[in-house]
Structure 1
Amino acid sequence: MFADYHVHTEFSDDSVYPMECVVQDAIRMKMDELCFTDHVDYGIKEDWDSGKPIVYRGQDPLANVDTPRYIREIDRMKQKYGGQITLKTGLEFGVQVHTIDQFEALFKRYSWDFILLSIHQVENQEFWTQDFQRGKSQQEYNERYYQELLEVVQKYKHYSVLGHLDLIKRYDPAGIYPFERVRPWIEKILKVVVAEGKGIEINTSAKRYGLTETMPSIEILKCYRECGGRIVTIGSDSHKPEHLGAGISEAKELLKSLGFDSFCTFDQMQPVFHAL
């Protein structure tokens, strides 16, 4: 089973990769299954139909997925290409504690196969711009990130897996913060995830971003397994053609080396297990 479960298209504000091109490229790669996971980040981005003005960063709109149009296009792709590849309907929810109610409403509005839960901002401060890290010590911004993630998983339940659990390291100007210093936070997060039948992803973009370890780290993957976790998806976090499907086979080998015997895809929010 060759599947990519973290895929962005032109419906994400940070991608111009047309959805139909994504599907055609995946078919050429002989991919069996693909799940679209375009971005919604309440708190810093507006819905297209919110009635509020859309702010632009250069030529890029700071806007969430145009969900009605997104759903229609996925349905069109399923009708046109369903005989060649399995396509799943998902989103990447960039949740913050104060935006949970908005995500609850969005989740209930449509039928989903898969929801990635990610933390891209805390208190509406972006990581990639360093707005969140600025003025804090490395310990402070790392611990605050995991504190937010813990509170989110304690309060928000409509998701499938945690996306790039240790994402903060991608944007850490001081380098990767030692796992042992945040282990207590991560263990608490993973115990909630496992107890509620949720999972985590291996995000294969780590090499692309120049990181020296996987995302999440091997320590986190081991900790998840020790906590009883079995649900793992694999996604490229693709935004461009050269990203699609990258690193999937290597991620499977990593899972096997750590004692996992399967990875997952999803159907109507339920995990489907595939032997490694």
Structure 2
Amino acid sequence: MRTIWKHRELFVLFLIAFAFFVVFKYGPLYGVIIAFKDFRIMDGIWGSPWVGLKHFYELFRTPDFYRILSNTLLLNLYLIVFAFPSPIVLALLLHEVKKYAFQRLIQTTMYLPHFVSWVIMAGLVIYFLSPTTGIVNYVLQWFGFKPIFFMGQKEYFRGIVVVSNILKEIGWGSIIYFAALSGINPELQEAATVDGASRWQRIVHINIPSIMPTIAIMFILSLGGFLSSNFEQIINLINPVTYETGDVIDTYVYRVGLQQFQYSYTAAVGLFKSIVGLALILAANWTVLKLSKGESGLW
């Protein structure tokens, strides 16, 4: 109790965050039971009849679900491969910029898109990719290529989602890596420079190993949402032509759950997604602990 009183300000801050998670994250978890019920609004959660695993059987018997699941897996795989390393690369590059004012200017410029809503960002993406007025097609025509209707061809949709995600979030995502780089002991850099190490060698042998625990933790956390997609981004970019490659679990839940009122079925979909995410986090954490010999990991 003396320790708590001594650090009471920190505990008050902790209680605020703890209350937020209890009220908005853990409190509503009781509603997950509608995945095992035939939920009716008039009967309420407890009054609705139990149906066991009926909705899960229905989920795996639905032909569209496997197409949607494959779309989600492929899209998130592309995001892991291309979008996840992008903030790391940006942070490494910014860390090498010696002029403080220029460094801050680049950081501020890269942070700004994060604060723009996906409604606006999607509108800009559609405008830039327009076959008639878009700057991308203008450049293509300048090089002698024919204009491409990017938003009207399903094979381009995943690439558009990945690139727009990188452009919007790369700056914000680099903050934590840049902070980790700032914590590296400068004496390591000085000693390497005295020994004749080039800038590239210092990045490879000092900077990257130093932030590897941070990269590992962020990678583990990103796997927790592997079956989740940025709903706001997808719903603002998708159209009927790109449904075949762009329809993911989140848009499927929105369409079936809210528009068709199949609450229990979509609750089963959400529970399935959460279980897979938990399994991926546990597996990734176990793998990282083994590879790092217990030095990295969430716990």
What is the TM-score with the length of structure 2 in the denominator? 0.22
- Which one has the largest radius of gyration? 2
What is the TM-score with the length of structure 1 in the denominator? 0.24
Higher relative contact order (CA 8 A, sep 6+): 2
* More helix per residue: 2
* More strand per residue: 1
